[in-house]
């Protein structure tokens, strides 16, 4: 918990970095981050959540002499869970094991920049979480087009605009709420929004990947998008239910209209009424089935016991290793 304002005392900051096999990028990133933090008074520790990398990180990967960074710790996972769930486990570990005032969440590939981290620290007061709102993206046109489509679908289904990613800083007192928020297991930023905790955004441009190629493709983007939308499952369910019921009513009204026209119209193509009523009846049944399906799914999810990160995270943790610390 932040007991004093950042202006009056140094912050104890834990930088949470989820990664898988990006050790070269992470090593360079931490060198640059240490240089950027050199003029800051904060005490900084690094927690890298190793998402079951094919090649484990070792102390040799972090052989630099750091000035501002006091400790680098690797939390290893038993299996690959993806960035969002790696972040969830990292937040639980910090809540249980690392006393601090603030948690800075950033990716380890360089797209979340040290300069951006400094901007987040400068505006952080401990009153709310602060997320980076991307003011410039560097991906390919195809990726940006797919991402734009995802943002449109997300808004139509949830009513919430996609503006932020993982890059953020939050007060440590928020961890007590987040680690018992089931939605955190699927998507960190969406869970923050659904939690009702105070948060704000500042514009920060995205940087460039330091080494290697991004593993984000159509499949991973789609899975990431569905994870974010699943956090709003109740909202999506109600919206689809209402839309399905409206569709059923419109199909029923169409059937009535066809019957009325068949009875009172003097000129008609033979068989048109039967074909029209049959097609509308199929549409009516499909909409009604969809509405009933979402109703039962929504009610079932309301009574089922969800995954709680604080309670269930330990089964995925293989161990913790300090790979660098001040002498």
The residue that leads in pLDDT, 243 or 168, is 168
Q: Taking 70 as the threshold, does the pLDDT of residue 217 lie above it?
A: no
Q: What are phi and psi of 143, to 5 degrees?
A: -65, -45
Res 138: pLDDT: 58
Average pLDDT for the chain: 84
Q: Taking 90 as the threshold, does the pLDDT of residue 61 lie above it?
A: no
pLDDT range class, residue 139, cuts 50, 70, 90 = low
Residue among 75, 73, 71 nearest 85 (CA): 75
Q: Residues 102-125: what's their mean pLDDT?
A: 94
Q: What percent of the chain has pLDDT over 90?
A: 42
Read off the tokens for 221. Answer: 């983007």
CA-CA distances (angstroms) from residue 111 to 211, 237, 278? Answer: 11, 34, 55
Pairing of strands 129-134, 164-171: antiparallel
Q: What percent of the chain has pLDDT over 70?
A: 86
pLDDT range class, residue 267, cuts 50, 70, 90 = low
């Amino acid at each position: 918990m932040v007991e004093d304002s950042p202006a009056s005392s140094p912050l104890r900051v834990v930088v949470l970095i989820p990664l898988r096999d990006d050790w070269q990028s992470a090593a360079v990133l931490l060198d640059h981050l240490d240089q950027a933090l050199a003029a800051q008074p904060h005490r900084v520790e690094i927690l890298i959540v190793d998402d079951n990398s094919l090649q484990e990180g070792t102390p040799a990967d972090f052989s630099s002499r750091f000035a501002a960074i006091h400790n680098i710790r690797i939390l290893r996972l038993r299996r690959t869970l993806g960035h969002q769930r790696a972040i969830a486990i990292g937040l639980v570990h910090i809540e249980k094991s690392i006393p601090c005032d603030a948690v800075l969440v950033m990716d380890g590939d360089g797209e979340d920049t040290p300069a951006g981290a400094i901007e987040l620290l400068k505006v952080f007061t401990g009153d709310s979480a602060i997320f980076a709102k991307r003011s410039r993206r560097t991906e390919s046109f195809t990726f940006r087009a797919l991402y734009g489509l995802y943002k449109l679908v997300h808004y139509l289904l949830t009513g919430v605009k996609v503006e932020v990613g993982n890059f953020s800083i939050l007060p440590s007192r928020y961890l007590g709420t987040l680690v018992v928020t089931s939605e955190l297991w699927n998507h960190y930023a969406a869970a923050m929004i659904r939690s009702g905790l105070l948060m704000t955004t500042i514009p920060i441009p995205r940087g460039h990947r330091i080494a290697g190629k991004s593993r984000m493709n159509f499949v991973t983007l789609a899975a990431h998008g569905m994870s974010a939308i699943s956090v709003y499952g109740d909202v999506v369910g109600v919206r689809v239910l209402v839309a399905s019921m409206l569709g059923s009513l419109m199909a029923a009204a169409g059937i009535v209209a066809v019957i009325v026209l068949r009875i009172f119209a003097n000129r008609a193509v033979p068989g048109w009424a039967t074909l029209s009523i049959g097609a509308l009846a199929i549409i009516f049944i499909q909409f009604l089935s969809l509405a009933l399906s979402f109703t039962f799914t929504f009610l079932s999810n309301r009574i089922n016991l969800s995954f709680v990160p604080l309670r269930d995270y330990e089964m995925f943790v293989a161990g913790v290793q300090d790979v660098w610390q001040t002498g």
